[in-house]
């Protein structure tokens, strides 16, 4: 009899992305800084990151200029091995909330989180 509980259903070839240090996060002045730092910290080329995310090298180059789409952020984090971009977005959202400048999309997202 084979016990299914010994091994996970899927064995990943990549480690889960790790949290960036607070110092690294503080040094990022924009989302672009966070994306470029994540790419540099990974030590991978744009083509390698694109292959891990299932997109082209050109898509990763566009992300480096304009930011990673929310839908692709989990794949990007796994590909680079760091959650720096996610942390930066969360920090900016918290700063806006502390200053009383909540964007409409942040407000809608909080409603959806509460409903789920």
Could you report the per-residue pLDDT of 50-103, keeping only the tens digit for each? 999 999 999 999 999 999 998 999 999 999 999 999 999 999 988 988 888 888
pLDDT digits (tens, 9 = 90+) for 12-60: 566 789 999 999 999 999 999 999 999 999 999 999 999 999 999 999 9
Q: DSSP assignment of 5-68, as one string?
A: TSS-SS--SSPPPBPPPHHHHHH--SHHHHHHHHHHHHT--HHHHHHHHTS-HHHHHHHHHH--
Q: Is 104 helix (H, G, I), strand (E, B) or coil?
A: helix
Distance CA 85, CA 35 (A): 6
Q: Report, at the CATH architecture level, how domain 29-115 is classified.
A: Orthogonal Bundle (1.10)
Question: What is the number of alpha carbons within 13 Å of residue 37 lying toward its C-beta?
Answer: 21
Residue 2 vs residues 6, 7, 81: alpha-carbon distances, Å: 9, 11, 34
Q: CA-CA-CA-CA torsion for 76, 37, 65, 68, nearest 10 degrees?
A: 20
Read off the pTM.
0.76
- The domain spans of the chain are 29-115
Rounded to the nearest integer, the mean pLDDT of the chain is 87
């Amino acid at each position: 009899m084979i016990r299914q509980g010994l091994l996970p259903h899927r064995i990943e070839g990549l480690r889960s992305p790790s949290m960036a240090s607070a110092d690294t996060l503080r040094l990022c002045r924009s989302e672009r800084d966070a994306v470029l730092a994540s790419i540099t910290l990974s030590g991978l080329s744009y083509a390698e990151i694109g292959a891990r995310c299932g997109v082209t090298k050109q898509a990763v180059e566009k992300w480096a200029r304009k930011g990673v789409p929310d839908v692709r952020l989990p794949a990007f984090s796994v590909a680079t091995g760091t959650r720096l971009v996610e942390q930066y977005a969360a920090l900016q959202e918290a700063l806006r909330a502390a200053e009383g400048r909540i964007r409409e999309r942040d407000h809608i997202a909080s409603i959806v989180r509460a409903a789920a």
